[in-house]
Structure formats: C-alpha cells, structure tokens
Amino acid sequence: MIIELHVLQNFVPANLNRDDTGAPKDCLFGGFTRARISSQCFKRAMRVEFRASRLIAPEYMAERTSLAQEALAERLINKHGFEAEAARQAALMVMQSLGIKLDSQSPEKTSYLLFLAPAELDAVASIVADTREHFGAPNEVPAEGAPAANGKGKRKNEKAQLPPGVINAIKKSLDGGRAADLALFGRMIADTPEHNVEAACQVAHALSTHRVETEFDFFTAWDERSKEDATGAGMLGTLEYNSACFYRYANLDVTHLQRNLGGDTLLTRQGVAAFIQAMVHAVPSGKQNSMAAHNPPSLILAVARDRGQWNLANAFLDPIKAKAGNDLMRASVAALDDYWGKVSAMYGTQGMRGQWIATLEAPAVQVLRSSLVSSFAALQEHVLAAAFAEAPATLAGGR
C-alpha cells in the first residue's frame, strides 16, 4: 500500500536551505537553473513539526545525537541508581562493545550522529543494570597520534570485554524502539549495519517549476551608540535569496511502516496521519526571522495505490512562465494536471485506490476535476480510509 503526496507551494523571497557559501541551493533540471530545497531539509522540518504540533507522542520520537553515551548515562543514574562515574564508564563500554567509532578528541561523543529511540536506550540501560558486575573500567581510547593495537600506525578503538551474551542482548535491543520518525525516515549505522532501518518513506528534493536566478539583498545597520555626527553604517553586508514555486513529492509504504513499527496498527495509523500533516504544514527554518516565508501549499494531490510510484516533476521540464491572468501557481497547477492525464493515459491506473486534490486553484484542474475535495482535512480522511480499508465519514458528494 503506497501513499503519494504531490505538493505545489510558492514561497516569498527566502533562503530556506543554504549551501556552503550561504546561497540558496539550486540545481539544473530540464537544462535550466531551478531553486532547490533538499529532501534532508524538509525531513528535518517534518520531524520538528511532529514535536511542535504533537503529531507523535515523545516516547515514539527518536533523537539524532553524538551524545548517546550521555543519554544512556542519564538513564543509568536516574532510573537505576548508578553513580555518575560508573554510569559514564558503563555507557562508554556499551559503545565499545557495539564497535561504534568514538570522536578522537572527545571520547564521550560518537564520531557521527546516532539515531536512537527512547525505548532502545531504556532497554540498553536495563541490560546494563541487570549485568552491572560486568561493567568495570572501560578500555581506554588511544590518544591522538597513538599507535594502533594492530601496529599498523592507525588508531583503533578497542572493544570492551563483555560476555557475548551481554553484547548480544544489547545488540538485540537496538530494534528501532517503535519510534515513528525513525520508522519513517530510516537510519544507517555504518559500524553496525545490522541495526540499519530501511526508511518506509521517500522524500524528493523540492524543485522550482520555473527558472530561478539568485538575487542579492544589500543591507546596512546603524550603530546606536555612535555619535550623532558620525557617518557610515555600523555594519553592512549582502544576503542571497530567491522566490520560487516548488513542486514537492514524497511517498510512503504503509506496509513497510507497519513492519518497522513491529506490527502496531494504531501507531502506524498515527504515523501515516503525522506524515501527511507534516508534509503539508512543515516549513524549513532557514532565515525565517528575517524573511518569514510561511506560505501554505496551494495544491495537495494525494494518491493511494497498491504498488508503483510516479514522481511528476517532469511536468515542469519546460519551465513554467507567468503571464497576465495566469500566474506561476495557476500555470503550475494546470501543467501538473495535464501531465497526470498524459501519464495515466499511457500507463493506466490499475492498482490505484483513489486520487484526491485539495487546491486554491480549482479552475485550473481539468483532468482530475472529479478528484477535487473541499479541504485538506477531507483529503487526509480519504487517504487514511484507503490506507486502512476504512469507510470515510460521510462527505457530501464524496468531498
């Protein structure tokens, strides 16, 4: 069971997702420069929305951090009565036993971010507490420049000497912990690939439907403690930005999500609802205090199908051009609607359970006119009903 979401969203001048030079991200598509917002940027915004709007309970939200040892030590201290130093040593031994690489300058940190669920850390803490006799002083992490244990001149973190049964129990507890965001977006732990979680959803980079050129805002600031006869600004600089109508696409494998969540149907339904809500309402935070680009989508197209996925970005291979009476959004809606008609005519719609559109530009929709619904809430209700084989609440005219 696949749910697809297609979103058209126009932002005012903004810099929501910057590259290493501070400029808005862009790319070539169809031979023309387009504005771009990375999938990682939107996924982060969606996870923030999960928490901010309480779409997912905190106990089902994972945390991405290099301070997993600290989080584990806190549990050992607060829940299991460990002394602070013993808790830190035990947490370090856990990381060593898992083969997780530690930061060479700060061994209390891992060398990369770990994405862990609260339930996973709770389970590991309980295992440590139940077998605390095995958690003595951890092996030392070699100092910077120290020779490796293998004598090949490379530093190497030695594994803690724990019984195989304890190590296996710790490894077994890293099962995703029924964290909905982890189940949705997946995780990769390079040192222990057996604990990787394949994402249940896919999120595309957002692309502008039209050509975009980056613009520059020259700004100055007055030093308010300067003398009245002083000349010149206290500060000056430039800020890069653009304004674009973005096509956004994501899909979600509901069966895969339920499998990642241990078969929990209720939590899966909550995860699907949260995913739909966040996909529509989440906005990246970049430069928002100075630009306030809080523009809701103008179109949401949802598709429920048994298999397959269609990214409809090719509707905009030929960049959209605005003209009087037909702005970028209205023209983009019409192009998306027309492209849907072409693709569905060529490949058919077998296996599709339904399509629903909520839009501010209904007159521009022709091919999918019968799929129009009156609101985003109605769209979400239909999608959830299709995904979980439910009868949607009575909506006049199927809307």
Residue 271 tokens, joined = 């995860």
Q: What is the pLDDT of residue 23?
A: 93
Q: Angle at CA 336, nearest 5°, toward 12 and 215?
A: 25
Q: What is the pLDDT of residue 139?
A: 52
Q: What is the pLDDT of residue 238?
A: 84
Cβ neighbours of 219 (radius 10 Å): 12
Element (H, E) at 332: helix 328-347
Report the relative pairing of strands 114-116 and 63-65 from DSSP bridges: antiparallel
DSSP letter string over 303-320? EEESS-----GGGGSS--
Give per-residue pLDDT as tens, 106-165: 999 999 999 999 999 999 999 999 999 998 765 554 444 444 444 444 344 445 579 999
Residue 220 tokens, joined = 């100055």
Q: What is the pLDDT of residue 389?
A: 82
Give per-residue pLDDT as tens, 268-295: 999 999 999 999 999 999 999 999 999 9
Residue 84 tokens, joined = 């602070």
Residues of the chain with pLDDT under 70: 137-160, 391-399
Report the relative pairing of strands 299-305 and 235-253 from DSSP bridges: unpaired
Residue 115 tokens, joined = 């994405």
> What CA–CA distance (Å, rounded) separates 167 from 194?
14
Q: Which amino acid is at 344?
A: S
Residue 199 tokens, joined = 């994402």
Burial (CB count <10 Å: 0-12, 13-18, 19+), residue 388? middle
> What CA–CA distance (Å, rounded) separates 357 from 351?
18
Q: What is the pLDDT of residue 120?
A: 97
Q: What is the pLDDT of residue 391?
A: 56
> What DSSP state is assigned to residue 250?
E
Give the contacts of 76 (CB within 8 A, at least 6 positions apart). 82, 86, 87, 90, 91, 125, 128, 129
> What DSSP state is assigned to residue 228?
T
Burial (CB count <10 Å: 0-12, 13-18, 19+), residue 377? exposed
Give the contacts of 226 (CB within 8 A, at least 6 positions apart). 234
Closest CA to 313 of 230, 194, 208: 208
Give the contacts of 67 (CB within 8 A, at least 6 positions apart). 108, 109
Beta bridge partners of 357: 301, 372
Length of the chain, in residues: 399
Please, are residues 71 and 121 in contact by the beta-carbon 8 Å criterion?
Answer: yes
Q: What is the pLDDT of residue 43?
A: 97
First-to-last CA distance in the chain? 22
Please, are residues 42 and 297 in contact by the beta-carbon 8 Å criterion?
Answer: no
